[in-house]
Amino acid sequence: MPHDKRFDIRFDGHRIAGVTATLNLIAVPDDRLDLPGADSGIAIELAAMQHLLDLVADGKVTAEQARVRLHDLSRRLHESNRELHRMDEID
């Protein structure tokens, strides 16, 4: 079942506030299932990703910082999703 998460993405003095991600919403193609959190079907707010790309393009955040942060975010959302599935199984 899809569910939303809201959070801020922070980088050394920069913040993208109130980002929305929905878990269990989309099917991920097989060739990207090896990426962190891909099997949770996470859809993330496009405007937040555009903001992140603007920070990279403006030299305020490196591409490596953005990549690491997104991979960490994906892992954390995936773990949160697994916990919700466990709770569903208990109910």
Q: Is the pTM of this model over 0.85?
A: no
pLDDT per residue, tens digit, the chain (91 aa), is 788 889 899 988 899 999 998 888 778 888 888 888 777 788 899 999 999 999 999 999 999 999 999 999 988 888 887 776 565 554 4
User: For the range 67-75, what are the long-range contacts, defined as Cβ-Cβ under 8 Å and sequence gap of 24 or more?
Assistant: 69/9, 69/11, 71/35, 71/36, 72/36, 73/7, 73/9, 73/21, 73/37, 74/35, 74/36, 74/37, 74/38, 74/40, 74/42, 75/36, 75/37
